[in-house]
Amino acid sequence: MLVPLLFALTALAYVIASGLYIAFLTRGVEGLARAATATLMGAVVAHAVFLVLDAMRTAFAFDIHQSLAIGSLVLTLAFLITAMISARQGKPRIQVLGAFVTPITLLFFLGAGLHRSVTSVPEEVRSMLLPVHVIVNVLGVVAFALAFGFSIAYLLQERQLRSKQLGGIFQRLPALDVLDSLGFRFIALGFPLFTLGVVSGALWAVRLDPDAPVLSASQILGLCAWVMFAAVLLLRVVAGWRGRRAAYGTMLGFLCTCLLLLGYVLRDGGAS
């Protein structure tokens, strides 16, 4: 009974934090930013306790639901740490990006709850390869999620600038070069992790079914996401791709990643 209650309380805290961050973005009241950060920190505590109690109740199954539960917590912590470091470097406006990151965290966390039972991993596929595959994918997706949030903020800020609306939201969002730089850094961080996840996933699939000749839908989506992020990085270096085009590429890559995660959630939820 306690674990479902903690899940509900954590989700509620993320909902409130998302609303407060969005209100701060649109209205600019500093008290809203402080309340949003405090609520998000409370959500982190509840989230961590939920994970501990859930792990005590059931063995770690390395499934998509537990991966999303852990990934959503890592995403929140990564955002809070990024905001803290940026504030110390004289970039306090990073905090407002919680309006874009926290809703993603909420969706990931809710996705973690879309299952009725935890199934054990088959004995024939238990190996060190599986936890490595899960961990690097979680970290890669977290980095891409942050880059996605920053890309949305970039496009919104650019729209404000092009329409010459230089007050309100424009003044609260970071500068375009800051958003572009943050997006690039997190893609550069997430890409090698995601690459390792794709490779380990392929090896795992071969071990599970050596005779399977055709790529599954999930593998195709994973490759599409990998190709999209690889193109963003390559075009930034070779063709000077920055700004709006890089933001759109990042968003398309993350969309493929989300479709991949959704497919796993629906498949495992239906199998429960």
Mean pLDDT by 10 residues, the chain (272 residues): 90 97 92 95 96 78 81 95 87 87 94 64 57 86 95 94 84 91 93 89 68 66 88 85 88 90 72 45
Residue 139 maps to a domain: yes
Residue 49 maps to a domain: no
- The one-letter amino acid at 118: V
Q: Which domain holds residue 193?
A: 60-271
Residue 177 maps to a domain: yes
Residue 7 maps to a domain: no
Residue 192 maps to a domain: yes
Measured CA to CA, the distance from residue 257 to residue 261 in angstroms comes to 6
Measured CA to CA, the distance from residue 38 to residue 35 in angstroms comes to 5
pLDDT score for 107: 93
**Closest to 144 in 3D by CA, of 43, 232, 272, 18:** 232
Residue 204 maps to a domain: yes
Residue 39 maps to a domain: no
Beta strands in the chain (DSSP E): none
pLDDT score for 127: 59
Measured CA to CA, the distance from residue 95 to residue 97 in angstroms comes to 5
Residue 47 maps to a domain: no
Q: How far is CA 215 from the centre of its chain?
A: 25
pLDDT score for 167: 78
Residue 249 zone, left/alpha/beta (φ > 0; ψ -120 to 50; rest) = alpha
pLDDT score for 91: 72
pLDDT score for 269: 54
What's the structural domain count of the chain?
A: 1
